[in-house]
Chains A and B, each alone.
Chain A
Amino acid sequence: MPTFKTSFKKTALALATSVTASLAFASAQAAEVEVLHWWTSGGEARAANVLKELMEAEGYGWEDFAVAGGGGETAMTVLKSRAMSGNPPSAAQIKGPEIQEWGELGLLGELDEVAAAEGWDELLPGTVAEVMRHDGQYVAVPVNVHRVNWLWANPEVLEAAGVEMPTTLDELFAAGEAIREAGFIPLAHGGQAWQDATVFESVLLATGGTAFYQQALVDLDPEALGGEQMVEALTTFKRLRELMDDDMSGRDWNIATSMVIEGSAGMQLMGDWAKGEFTAAGLTAGEDYLCAAAPGTQDAFTFNIDSLAMFRVEGEEREAQHALARLVLEPTFQEAFNLAKGSIPARPDLDMSEFDSCARQSLDDFQRTAEEGGLVPSMAHGMAVRADVQGAIFDVVTNYFNSRDMAAEEAARRMVNAAQAAL
């Protein structure tokens, strides 16, 4: 296999050079990029439209290929089908370790030229840049940085229950009880595997700390996965179920968020894309809704970076693709997109005055944790481990969370198996 791959790469390189040569003859006809993504919600789509307009202003065409559903699952199926048929799009929304997998298949095209011209090495935070590179070359461009470990709350509900925004897990449970007694659902949640995992990783981060998080969910150390601390994390995680309502199974995350918005539920543990929903509902951060790091995780930042990976294409399309890569990091787009999406820009040098207090806190925490070592990749959002391991962990987490009688020890044992079986 390796020999095949290197020879594959050589041909790719040869192709690329011949292509750059032929670029000189590029005709006046507008080159087009086809972008496969699942930014389909209203705010995201409007923000992505900014990118499209930037492209068009430079004379390139944008062929929009949005596939909604299942947090990008459908889009990934489409992408695989397109790749198999030898007809991949110019760029696709791919993230985390998956970029490496596509890179290993030799399907991605490098962006070093653009990266050098634009000074990505200086522009991008180290953690972010690392995810974008395969074999030392840039193959993807970051769009934003999401923080996953957030707690959102409706201040009116908190007030009615007479509680403050909880900062520790104990406070969370106490606040939950008070909110329930006041007649609200304490914690809005949707019973889907990835949402269960999102809550789980925040709990694990709170009970075990970042070192343990790193050991267990990133390095997949069997001792950490099956140990005491895991059992504790699982037990605490399961207790959260008591704060949720009975109708949650299959509920979409944004429906859960709207429960907080409407005031039928008090809080939600969810990544900062939830802010897009609050914003779309016309609410102001800090006044109409509250944000804080998930209880007990103030010194940690679980990141989830959206990115566009570039497929190996030829000729004019490649030129357009490079323009796309450059424009993604353009301040106009970064600002517009991240304001809509609730995340922070992938480049930390931007003026944050347009952003709300939550986003500013997110950026501060990002930089602080990057220095102090609390910056960890999100397992639930495919930043920490490959899709198969992630899937196997999801299975254990969601099954345990929904089972009536599974012991935490049993779940921890299965977690060890999951990490091994999927390798």
Chain B
Amino acid sequence: MSLTSPAAQPAAASGSRRSHAGLLQAWLPKLVLAPSVAISLLFVYGFMLWTFILSLTNSRMLPSYEFVGFGQYARLMANDRWWVASTNLVLFGGLFVAICLVLGLLLAILLDQRIRQEGALRTVYLYPMALSFIVTGVVWKWLLNPGLGVQAMVRGWGFENFRFDWITDPDMAVYTLVIAAVWQASGFVMALFLAGLRGIDDSIVKAAQLDGASLPRIYWRVVIPCLRPVVFSAVMILSHIAIKSFDLVVALTGGGPGYASDLPATFMYAHAFTRAQIGLGSASAMLMLGGVLAILIPYLYSELRNRRHG
């Protein structure tokens, strides 16, 4: 593949340096970027286009190219399960991002108070990010299962009326996904915020302290606004995790009870791969991408613009 070309560049560069040095130097950055851009065009945009084309066909088990117009989209719109999955993504994604940001920021601020054993605590908060749900899925299933896990444990301690059976409740199952996802990613967000806090110039805080501002006020008015770029990075990473959440659903709820905790990623997978409806699956993938774009592009645009001016 063209991947190796960056490494191959130096030789080419030194060979023609004398005659076309200036020209080459001007082109070199572009040449270095070229393979990645090509990969992106081919494997991200090309595949997206391919998926779009498939979404216009009646592809079943394997791709076919018999076009049916926007029929698959119409079927998707009439599909109850798709609506459940989409609503769940909004609910799950919104809660997940929000809770991770709040919890991450809170933990980062608390951890920034010259805590003993900060390193150990940080590692403890951070480690879930290292594990996939392929690894932790079984344990999470246990913990959330009322007969085996937390509920049974707390009842065992003598609280007979304690209830924690969300995973068996169609209305609550999606929140168990939020719990597990927050467990996995909030420590990472904490690390991002902690890094941000450490990067803030002490003199700003000191100046505010001299003005007699209280600690919460300093954080609210001075420190948190400085963390805006961190929030940007965190939201990018978190929304990427939320949209791609797949292992999580498969490992924890399998989309159930019924299909109450289905997400678009699992919907798409189920239809494209298990149910031999590649056309419908592709249509759902396109809508998923559309949704991502609708949220991300305005956000990216405003953030990148602000940053260039600021």
Contacts and interface: CB of A to CB of B under 8 A. Distances in A.
Is any CB of A less than 8 Å from a CB of B in the complex?
yes
Given A101-B276, A249-B256, A421-B79, A80 B167 contact: no
Given A191-B257, A250-B141, A391-B270, 19 more contacts: A1-B66, A73-B274, A83-B62, A191-B168, A193-B254, A246-B146, A247-B146, A387-B274, A387-B276, A387-B277, A395-B80, A398-B257, A398-B258, A400-B258, A401-B258, A402-B257, A402-B260, A417-B78, A421-B75
Interface residues of A, number: 39
B170 to A, nearest CB: 5
Interface of B: 60-64, 66, 75, 78-81, 141, 145-148, 165, 167-168, 170, 173, 250, 252-260, 269-271, 273-277, 280
A314 B280 CA distance: 34
A59 B166 CA distance: 55
B246 to A, nearest CB: 12
Contacts of B273: 73, 76-77, 80
Interface string A78-119: 001001100000000000001001100100000000000000
A6 to B, nearest CB: 16
13 contacts: A191-B257, A247-B147, A250-B145, A387-B61, A388-B276, A390-B275, A391-B270, A395-B259, A399-B80, A402-B170, A402-B258, A404-B170, A421-B75
A249 B168 contact: yes
Contacts of B256: 191-193, 249-250, 398, 402
Given A246-B165, A247-B145, A386-B276, A399 B258 contact: yes
Contacts of A191: 168, 256-257
Interface string A178-196: 0000000000000111000
Interface string A376-404: 00000000001110111001001111111
**Most chain A beta carbons < 10 A, residue from B170, B173, B269, B274:** B274
B252 to A, nearest CB: 8
A221 interface: no
A245 interface: yes
A84 B61 CA distance: 11
A414 B260 CA distance: 16
A414 to B, nearest CB: 7
A3 B213 CA distance: 81
A422 B167 CA distance: 29
Interface in A240-277: 245-250
Contacts of B255: 193
A73 B269 CA distance: 10
Q: Which 10 A-B pairs give the minimum distances between C-beta atoms?
A: A402-B258, A247-B147, A391-B275, A402-B257, A399-B258, A387-B276, A77-B273, A249-B168, A398-B258, A249-B257
A387 B276 CA distance: 6
Contacts of A402: 170, 256-258, 260
Contacts of B259: 193, 395, 398-399
A102 B276 CA distance: 11
Task: Please report whether the interface of chain A is mostly helix, strand, loop or mixed according to DSSP.
Answer: helix
A187 to B, nearest CB: 15
A36 B156 CA distance: 45
Contacts of B274: 70, 73, 76-77, 387, 391
B301 to A, nearest CB: 36
Interface centre among A76, A402, A421 (most CB of B within 10 A): A402
Nearest to B255: A193
A388 B146 contact: no
A248 B75 CA distance: 32
A250 B252 CA distance: 8
Contacts of B75: 421
A102 B168 contact: no
B284 to A, nearest CB: 13
B275 A249 contact: no
Contacts of B250: 70
A247 B61 contact: no
A248 B66 CA distance: 43
A249 B81 contact: no
Contact of B61 (A70, A101, A401): A101
B81 A250 contact: no
A147 B170 CA distance: 31
Contact of B168 (A76, A98, A105, A246): A246
A374 B276 CA distance: 29
Task: Identify which of A76, A83, A246, A387 gathers the most chain B CB atoms within 10 Å of its CB.
Answer: A387
A421 B72 CA distance: 10
Contacts of B271: 388, 391
A193 B165 CA distance: 19
B254 A250 contact: yes
A101 B276 CA distance: 9
A3 B275 CA distance: 27
B305 to A, nearest CB: 41
A285 B205 CA distance: 77
A83 B62 CA distance: 9
A197 B113 CA distance: 56
Contacts of B280: 388
A397 to B, nearest CB: 9
Contacts of A387: 61, 274-277
Contacts of B146: 246-247
A101 B61 CA distance: 7
Contacts of A400: 258
Contacts of A249: 167-168, 173, 253, 256-257
Interface in A207-251: 245-250
A403 B257 CA distance: 9
Given A250-B141, A390-B275, A395 B168 contact: no
